[in-house]
Copies of this chain bind each other. A is one copy, B any other.
Amino acid sequence: MATHISRHLHFAGHTISCIYSRSRESAVKLASEFGSIGTNISAEVPKNADYYIIAIPDDMIEDVILKFKDCEGIWLHTAGAISVEVFKEYQSRYGVFYPLQTLNSDRSVLLEDTPILVEGSSPGVLESIHLLAASISQNIHEIDSSSRLTIHLSAVFANNFSNHMVHLAQKLLEDQGIDGKLLIPILKETFSKLEEFNAIDAQTGPAFRGDQKTLQKHLELLKDKPELKNLYTFISRSIDSTRD
C-alpha cells in the first residue's frame, strides 16, 4: 500500500519528504525512488509535513500514531476496517484515505479509476483530503467509517473470496496434471460479463440450474477432499437460495 500510494502521489507532483518504516532497508529503498529520506528512526521524520500517511498493518496503526503524536499535519490511514476515530486522542486534523483495490507489491496498478474512500475530522480537512485523493484518482467518495467497513467486507467477497475460488479451481486441475491455462478464457468471460450484468444475472452452472445429478457427480469426485466437499456443498446451497 505504501509503495503504491507514494508512487502515485510522487507522479502526481507531490513531494514525498520522508518514508519511515520499521525496516530501514525497505524505507531507504522506497525513498530512493523519490530522492527523499528513508529511515527507521522516528526523530528523523519531519515534524511539519502537510500530510502523514500511515500504510501499515491495522494492528500497528495506533502505535505509530502515538509515536508521532508531536508531528502536526493532516494524519491519514489507508485501512478499510479501522475507524477514523483511532486518531482522535492524538491529533486534531485527521482522516482516512482508503483505495478500494487489491494491491500486490510486485504488480503496479493504475489507481486512476480506483475508488478512494475519504473521511475527515472536519469539513476543511475533508476538503484537503479530497483534493489529495483527486490528484491520483477520478473516483473519490466521502464515506463514513461504518459504511467503509461494509464496503471492505464486500471487497473481501468480491476479490479475496472469488480469487480463492479460482485458486481452488487451479489446484483441482493441477492435482490431476491438467494445465490450469485451460481456465483463462472462462475467467476472462466471467469478469467481462460482470461489466455488463449484475452477478446474479450472469450466473450459470449446475447449482443455479438446480441440476442435482451434476452436483452429485462433483461431490463424488471430491469424496477424498472433505474440506473442499463441504465448501462445494455450502456454496452450492447458497447459490441455490438465489434462484427465483
Q: Hey, which bits of chain A sit against chain B, CB under 8 A?
A: 57-59, 81, 100-104, 107, 109, 113-115, 139, 141, 147, 149-170, 172-173, 176, 178, 180, 182-191, 193-209, 211, 213-214, 217-218, 221-222, 227, 230-232, 234-235, 238-239, 241-242
Q: Is the CB of B151 within 8 A of A217?
A: no
Interface of A is mostly: helix
A154 B167 Cβ-Cβ under 8 A: no
List of B residues within 8 angstroms of A234 by Cβ = 230-231, 234
A191 to B113, CA, bound (A): 15
Residue of B nearest to A166 (CB): B199
A19 to chain B, nearest CB (A): 21
User: A154-B169, A154-B183, A199-B166 are known contacts. Are A159 and B190 too (CB-CB below 8 A)?
Assistant: yes
The reply to whether A150 and B221 form a contact with Cβ atoms under 8 Å apart is yes
Q: Are A170 and B199 in contact (CB under 8 A)?
A: yes
In the complex, how many angstroms separate the beta carbon of A90 from the nearest chain B beta carbon?
Answer: 20
Task: Give the CA-CA distance A173 to B198 in the complex, in Å.
Answer: 13
Docked CA distance A227–B234 (Å): 9
Interfacial chain B residues near A114, Cβ < 8 Å = 185-186, 189
CB-CB nearest in chain B for A171: B200
Contact partner of A204 (CB less than 8 A), chosen from B57, B159, B217, is B159
Q: Please, how many angstroms separate the alpha-carbon atoms of A239 and B155 in the complex?
A: 15
CA–CA, A31 and B233, complex, Å: 39
Chain B residues closer than 8 Å to A204, beta-carbon distance: 102-104, 159-160
Contacts of A195 in B (CB 8 A): 184, 188
